[in-house]
Amino acid sequence: MSSALLAFLLAGWLIAVTAGPARAGHSGEPYVPTVRSDYVKRLLDAREPVTLVDFRKAGEYRAGHLPGAISVPITELDRRFREIPQAAQVILYCQCPIEEIATAYVFLWNQGYRNHTVLEDGFDGWLRRQYPTSK
């Protein structure tokens, strides 16, 4: 078994172990899988391929964001969702209630995305753990 395949399988297992589903809130919609900040930090430290999508306002993003994150303000998601890759792992985050990011998750799901999860405690949780940010 190649090391890349082994890493992929391990990453999938870690997601399953650390993810906690949140309900999107509407009948028939998917559960919103979440991942913890410590898991995302491990991905970044290991330089694993992951796209982080910051849904906060552009000014908030400029003030500080998760390392390597791209900015797609949630109010612009319907116009800019194609900037989010449909391959590899995507982790969405904001500084908003779970219901708001769950709506964004479902929107992407309805556009055919199946590779995305939500940062469980958002940007605030990342900061509480004193993990690094970029400007």
Give the pLDDT confidence of 54-79 residue by residue, as tens digits. 999 999 999 999 999 999 999 999 99
d(CA 62, CA 109): 27
d(CA 2, CA 7): 9
* Residue 94 annotated among the catalytic residues of the structure: yes
Q: In this structure, which amino acid lies at residue 12?
A: G
Q: Is 88 helix (H, G, I), strand (E, B) or coil?
A: coil
Using alpha carbons, select from 130, 102, 120, 123 the residue that is nearest to residue 39. 120
Q: Is 70 exceeded by the pLDDT of residue 26? A: no
Q: What is the pTM of this model?
A: 0.78
Output the CATH code of domain 3-128: 3.40.250.10
What are the tokens at 81?
A: 């969702």
Q: What is the pLDDT of residue 91?
A: 98
Sheet holding 116-119, edge to edge: 34-35, 116-119, 89-93, 50-54, 70-71
Domain ranges of the chain: 3-128
Q: How far from 115 is each of 1, 4, 43, 72, 132, CA to CA, in Å?
A: 23, 18, 15, 17, 24
Residue carrying the six token digits 């559960």: 31
**pLDDT band (50, 70, 90) for residue 16:** very low
User: Which of 52, 94, 104, 108 does the annotation list as catalytic?
Assistant: 94
- Average pLDDT value for residue range 36-61: 96
Q: Is 70 exceeded by the pLDDT of residue 12? A: no
In terms of pLDDT, which residue wins out, 35 or 11? 35
